[in-house]
Amino acid sequence: MLKLHNTLTGKTEEFISIEPNKVGMYNCGPTVYDHAHIGNLRSYVMASIIRRTLSYLGYEVNQVMNITDVGIGGDNDEGEDKIIRGLKREGKEISIIAMKELTDHYTDAFRVDLERLNIDVPTTLPRASEHIPQDIELIKTLLKKEFAYTTSDGVYFDTSKDKHYGKLGGHTLDGNREARIESTSEKKNPKDFALWKLNSRVGFESPWGTGFPGWHIECSAMSHQYLGTHFDIHTGGIDLAPIHHNNEIAQSENAFNKPYVNYWVHNAFVNIESGKMAKSTGNFITLTTLIEKNILPLSYRYWLLQARYSTPVNFSFEALESAEHAYLKLLLTVRSYPENGTVNERYKDRFTSFIEDDLDTPQVLALIWELVKDVSINPEIKRATILEFDKVLGLNLEYATIPTTLISIEDLPINIRELISQRESARKNKDFATSDAIRDQILELGFIVKDKPEGPQISRV
């Protein structure tokens, strides 16, 4: 039975879907004013593992991930809109047309990052700019129910009207957490947040004037549009829990008078030596940076899976290079095994127990290497079993491109030729333990052996 750590209750709980065998899941997507950094991408890898796990366990998953291409973003309603900040950074005019050009570019870049990390495109990838009418209707509902009020600069949610405000993670109004901004003259409470912000220069038309929806109302409106008023799972980075996700809960539950989400799942930060990775401070590394250093993007996915999603990780290029070595070795090992094997049920049962235990990917990776070393299992069974696990891990072990070069046996160093000869003798004698050990030795020396009917095929890594 699948268990997930639920930020709402602070407990690891058995997952029970609202509708049998179906799951509605919303993932907070990127604000597309710049490239996503590798810390951002951890959230989407986590969402990928959750979706793959649910599908593996037999659920039909409706996955929605938003694209924030308009709206007042971040934790500070008084701060500058991120999209406008991006326009200024790139020397573009401040207009709706320029906003679309900028966000189209970075949305395309985000899609490329998803593909590079073997992250399945969500069932629906809605853009905030295409859901302004839904935002407006939700704000009207909150105003009618007196959970919102108007000021000279927009519309705000009245947090004092919600006695449960801040319940996600225990950030209640009577707690010790200080307000994120100082109260303005028109705000009733410091923690009240914008539902609509007026902008005299550029924006969308609304009953309250030209402007933009708040960042929080967009997610409530889009999740309602595609998943209904009550759904199963909502994910995002842990930094979103105190403000953004609590604001989503407040808006949605007070607008529709029912629970919003049953399970809130948050990933921890990716830290670098100078602290938390963040675009706002310019302290970040992109996937393109890794590629320029000749690091495979899927090596980063492997590195992330070495820790639980809820554990903070400290990034370094040395750690990533070590993970890449392990990932390449696994790729080469799996490719060297013959095909047409069957899945080992004993290992499969252990895999299922690990992945059902709050997505324990570190244990799954350890299990794979245990299987690789298990001389009692035939190579074709190892291949089939590892590829079964990869349905969840998403490391693309069967199809990922390996940076190798084919080489003829005559052109190999003498020591490699001798090892290949010894391995062929072991295979003819059905001494698979010796055969596997020699193959691993050849891998360590930078070569992969793939068994073909016409004889061994050798590639240089």
Q: Give the pLDDT confidence of 269-294 residue by residue, as tens digits.
A: 999 876 665 655 556 799 999 999 88
Average pLDDT over residues 4-13: 97
350 vs 279: CA distance, rounded Å: 40
Residue 9's pLDDT band, with cuts at 50, 70 and 90, is: very high
Residue 182's pLDDT band, with cuts at 50, 70 and 90, is: very low
81 vs 72: CA distance, rounded Å: 5
Q: Measuring CA to CA, which residue among 58, 68, 92 is closest to residue 213?
A: 68
Q: Centre a 10 Å sphere on the Cβ of residue 133 and count the other Cβ atoms it contains.
A: 11
Please give the pLDDT value at position 184. Answer: 52
Q: Specify the higher pLDDT residue, 3 or 183.
A: 3
Residue 267 C-alpha from the chain's centroid: 9
Please give the pLDDT value at position 85. Answer: 87
Which residue's entry shows tokens 């951890």?
A: 42
For 323-393, CATH number?
Answer: 1.20.120.640
Residues of the chain with CATH 1.20.120.640: 323-393
> What average pLDDT is seen over the chain?
91
With contact defined as beta carbons under 8 Å apart, do 125 and 29 qualify? yes
Express each pLDDT in 24-62 by its tens digit: 999 999 999 999 999 999 999 999 999 999 999 999 999
Residue 78's pLDDT band, with cuts at 50, 70 and 90, is: low
236 vs 33: CA distance, rounded Å: 18
Percent of the chain with pLDDT over 70: 92
Instruction: Give 112's Cβ-side CA count (13 Å radius).
Output: 13
Q: Domain 3-146+156-176+215-272 belongs to what architecture?
A: 3-Layer(aba) Sandwich (3.40)
- What is the helix (H) or strand (E) element at residue 60, kind and residue range? strand 60-65
Q: Is residue 67 pLDDT above 60, yes or no?
A: yes
434 vs 421: CA distance, rounded Å: 12
Angle ∠(241,242,244) on CA atoms, nearest 5: 65
4 vs 49: CA distance, rounded Å: 12
Residues of the chain with CATH 3.40.50.620: 3-146+156-176+215-272
Q: Is residue 129 pLDDT above 80, yes or no?
A: yes
Q: Please report how the helices 246-256 and 215-227 are oriented relative to each other, as an axis angle in degrees rounded to 10.
A: 50
Residue 199 C-alpha from the chain's centroid: 33
295 vs 290: CA distance, rounded Å: 5
Q: Give every CB contact of residue 29 below 8 A, 6+ residues apart in sequence.
A: 44, 65, 66, 67, 68, 110, 125
